[in-house]
Amino acid sequence: MMVGEKMEKYWHSVILDNDYCNGCTNCLSRCPTQAIRVIDGKAKIMKERCIDCGECLKICHFHAKGTLSDGLEAIHQFKYKVAIPGISIYGQFPAEYDIEDVFQGIYKLGFDLVYDTAYAADVLTKFQNQLLKEPFIEKPIISTYCPAITRLIQIRYPSLIDNITRLESPMEVAARLVKKQLMEEKGLSFDEIGVFYISQCPATITSIKQPLGLEKSFIDGGISLESIYSKLLKIIVKGERLYPTVQKASGNGVGWGMVGGQSFGLDTEKYLAVDGIEEVIRVLDKMELGKLPEIDFFEGYACVTGCSGGVLNVENPFMAKARIRIKSAELPKYNPNLIDETIKREDLEWDVEMEPRSILKLDSDFKVALSKMSKLEELAQKLPGIDCGACGAPTCRALAEDIVMNRAAITDCLVLGKFNRRRQKKSKTEV
Amino acid sequence: MYRLQRDESDLAMMKAFEVSNEDFSSAGTASSKIKKILRQIGMDAGVIRRIAIATYEAEINVAIHSNGGHIEVYIKSDKVDIYVEDTGPGIADINLAMQKGYSTATKEIRELGFGAGMGLPNMEKCCDDFYIESVVDEYTAIKMTFNL
Ligand SMILES: Nc1ncnc2c1ncn2[C@@H]1O[C@H](COP(=O)(O)OP(=O)(O)O)[C@@H](O)[C@H]1O
Ligand code: SF4
Ligand SMILES: [Mg+2]
């Protein structure tokens, strides 16, 4: 269980289940921050490096990895229980269900209120458009919607941190709006209201526990959609409307459930929308080199198709994306004049400076780091360079780094002796 | 081929990268490796970015304008020296080549997204000390220094 659990410096929600892990190396090379090692036949995650992108969960054939999330019972710790479903939920149910059927079903899981997170996206669109018009703003503006990408930037692209928008993600905005509303309208105290995110991915769950740029998240827990999906299917009754209507977002807001949705609502064509972490890395490399001067706004997603591809979702990512597109086109168009005028931009911003996460450093002392680097280079020369993964590190260079950092020994390389003998033989025959 | 005198005083680490003129798709690998090394050493993010931009531009120039060459990175406690040397056509008028927007890149190369004529000016802008020499039909050699 997660609510009330004690915080560590680097908490993350992707977990490994030792019983299922058979020590294969599939996940090693998929990890964009090289956070996984296979030690004693089992995969281990270096927690300070994990950005919770979920890549390893997607590749694991043995279902050895999971996500730390809240169970439904966690909501009962609160007097007033609110559900804010991730926007991608719009694409998760067969077309025969109206999205309002689904929202009404969520009430029946025990919530006092269900709030349309896609409406928070509409609110954000209004302020993103304002930001784009500001003369001195650092461009391209980078969206914070996918927290895995924000953490990737903290680790691998610290010089781009200033480009990250100060506007929070829709789930955080939704939580703020709904708590404020309930405190005003129902006279509830802050702590009496429990806001639960119905989550599509571990990255968002981590952001509840360990928010970026915030002292504390306004969200109290994260429940994976996958874990309540079959229950929901059973209790949803088509056309039944027992509770207040939930759906209030425009087609634009709903579009945020897939890649490109955010940018679609902007008053500019100079945007770039990229899905899939490998492609995002390629684009951020270019951005860091200053090679994207024509771009004013960037949205990047760890998952292919955007949040429709989140690992805690149920539907096929491409099917889900198609449904979101269709739904988005059916709903009324976005109209900034319909956004609640009392909402101020300052209320939607993060407040703690976002720091670089310099965990790739070999040492905090520059001189020591330099000498470790020389050793690393020397070792990397010695190792075969075939990145086979048998040592448990994703690449030969990563093993060299582990050796320098006292996390491994050169004898962990199973290939080294053999490889050198073969190479010698070859060069003899060549002579 | 070494063209420039190396300054090895206070040298902590040296790393060399070959740059070929054959494969445009791999252009950028040397500068991204350099970036990774500097990140692991824990260098300031702003300096890393300037070095990454300058070495990327240098690498691209070697790949598209010369017959191949190398980049050498000399890391010291208070600065980084980067030597970029190639063999090839060289540059006839360096002052002209240093101007923003000047480029002799062919249409094909422009179609690949290179040849905006901003490489040399950006290199000069990013580093603290810039030196270039060239002999037509022989070589181009550049030294860039970044103070830490
Ligand atoms: N290594 C090199 N060898 C030969 N010519 C070069 C080299 N580097 C630059 N040049 C010349 O200088 C010009 C300007 O270079 P640069 O500012 O990088 O612009 P670009 O590479 O976009 O053409 C090039 O078009 C080319 O004529
Ligand atoms: S793209 Fe969306 S679903 Fe995937 S990790 Fe990012 S926030 Fe989560
Ligand atoms: Mg150039």
Assess whether the C-beta atom of A307 lies below 6 angstroms from ligand 2. Answer: yes
Tell me the C-alpha to C-alpha distance, in Å, between residue A171 and each of A22, A65, A100, A122, A148.
36, 25, 19, 12, 15
Please write the tens of the pLDDT for every residue from A259-305.
Answer: 999 999 999 999 999 999 999 999 999 999 998 989 999 999 999 99
Please write the tens of the pLDDT for every residue from A46-90.
Answer: 988 999 999 998 888 777 677 888 999 999 999 999 999 999 999
Assess whether the C-beta atom of A57 lies below 6 angstroms from ligand 2. Answer: no
- Residue B132 falls inside a structural domain: yes
| Contact status, residue A62 vs residue A21, Cβ threshold 8 Å | yes
Hey, which bits of A294-376 come out as E strands?
297-301
- Residue B3 falls inside a structural domain: no
pLDDT at A3: 53
pLDDT at A9: 65
pLDDT above 90 covers a percentage of chain A that reads 76
Report the distance separating Cα A354 and Cα A167, nearest Å.
12
Distance (Å) from the alpha carbon of A355 to chain B's nearest alpha carbon:
12
Q: Select the residue from B29, B33, B40, B53 to test the A interface by mutation, using most A Cβ atoms within 10 A.
A: B40
Highest-confidence range of A106-120, A149-163, A366-380, B24-38, by mean pLDDT?
A106-120
**The complex's ipTM?**
0.78
Assess whether the C-beta atom of A60 lies below 6 angstroms from ligand 2. Answer: no
User: How many Cβ atoms sit within 10 Å of the Cβ of residue A412?
Assistant: 17
B100: domain CATH number is 3.30.565.10
**Is the confidence at residue A426, as pLDDT, over 60?**
no
Task: Say yes or no: B12 contacts chain A, CB-CB below 8 A.
Answer: yes
- Residue B2 falls inside a structural domain: no
User: Where do the domains of chain A lie, and which CATH numbers do they carry?
Assistant: 14-67 (3.30.70.20), 72-348 (no CATH), 366-430 (1.10.15.40)
Please write the tens of the pLDDT for every residue from A335-361.
Answer: 999 999 999 998 899 888 888 887 888
> Which ligand 1 atom sits closest to the C-alpha of B122?
17
pLDDT above 70 covers a percentage of chain B that reads 100
pLDDT at A301: 98
Neighbours of ion ligand 3 (CB under 5 A): B 61, 119
- Look at ligand 2, atom 8, and give the residue with the nearest C-alpha: A201
B40: domain range?
11-147
Tell me if residue B127 falls in helix, strand or coil: coil
Provide the number of structural domains found in chain B: 1
